[in-house]
Structure 1
Amino acid sequence: MNINNFEKLIEPKIIARGFDYYEQEHIRSFEQMEEGEFSALIIGTDTYSIFIKLDTDKEILDHSCTCPYDWGEYCKHKVAVLYRIKDGKGHLQEPETDNNFSILKDEIENCDNKKFKDLILYMAKRDRKFRSELFWEFGHEDDYLMEDEYF
């Protein structure tokens, strides 16, 4: 799927909801972390973190969202961020420089331990790269090879 044709390949209802989120400015922060890697925070029912990775041909290589949507691969939050990347006009735009990290830091500092631990486990279950980094961070790089036993 490409940034220029995602509207044709995602369920129309999700496209419409995602476009509404984009238009109504639910995206509270947006940044390009590296070439082709975008991160955003969206305020909806809760605050959700979205990650989109594109290759040099603008193909969508990877994507994730912390929302509980499980009816398909793409949720309205991801679609809103795809529109933000595309800028609704078919052109990639330069991401804004904002205080994305500061907002995230505040959210984490105000989060209770159980909610934070649940989020970490949820992300580890959904995101293989994140899970790998956790194994390495906690000194269990050998255990990572056995990860299917844990998840």
Structure 2
Amino acid sequence: MTRKNLILLAAGGSALLLLGAFAFQHIGGLAPCKMCLWQRWPHAAAVLIGVLAIASRGPALPALGALAALATAAIGGYHTGVERGWWEGPASCTGAGNGLGGLSGTDLLSMGSPAGVVMCDEVAWQMLGLSMASWNMLASLGLVLLWILAARRN
């Protein structure tokens, strides 16, 4: 497989994962939590890196693509651990910590506060026992391998 094809597969994989996330959100009505949104940024970076890497030579940009894919895999792994209760997540989007502790009853019942806060420590959707964060982690690790193969082909 050529370097260009590997880059297209890797960047295209990130693009498809982003499209899937947006489809779950906008078509499926499944609102993302804060950590889900964090996982999208490295995919967006990988798509941009892919566009630039096709027009260039050398291993630098594919290596950056691998780092972007590894970053989203790491966030997905961390998110998976938060969902499964292996460790605490950010207090701002989990039941841990005192993120809501400083609010009064009036604040909590206020109609002006944001509705539908999505908690990061709750699995909103799963398939074969794995959450979207877990699937993102696994798919992103596969993309890391494609980027590394592309970096090794000159």
TM-score, scaled to structure 1: 0.21
TM-score, scaled to structure 2: 0.20
Q: Which structure shows the higher strand fraction?
A: 1
Relative contact order, higher structure (CA 8 A, sep 6+): 2
Q: Which structure shows the higher helix fraction?
A: 2
Report the structure number with the largest CA radius of gyration: 2
